[in-house]
Amino acid sequence: MVERKDVEAALAARHELGRAYEPEIVDSMLEKIEKRLAERPPAPAPEYRHRGSFTPLALGSIGAGVGATAIATIHHQGWVAVIAWIAIVLVNFAVAFRR
């Protein structure tokens, strides 16, 4: 970022001119650093997507599936339980692979 020769030149100038010119030397060095920072292209913003925890959905899905299975089997409608589980799986996949 700042070349070694620039730092060495600033140190040599400080040594040659003394402490009286130290603030000017430091300000000059800071201007060079700021100029080089301004010339740099901005860094791309990191893609941060908080997707949350999948655990509540998974546990809720299991609870809903067990409940649907219990109700369907009590009423001798096992096919309803199969459809409920398929729907639960589809919802879980949709949430897991959404963009």
d(C-alpha 32, C-alpha 95), whole Å: 50
Q: Residue 73's pLDDT is what?
A: 92
Q: Do the beta carbons of residue 10 and residue 29 sit within 8 Å?
A: yes
Q: What is the model's pLDDT at position 39?
A: 84
Split the chain (99 residues) into runs of 10 and give each run's mean pLDDT: 75 80 82 84 74 82 92 92 93 82
Beta strand extents in 1-99 (DSSP E only): none
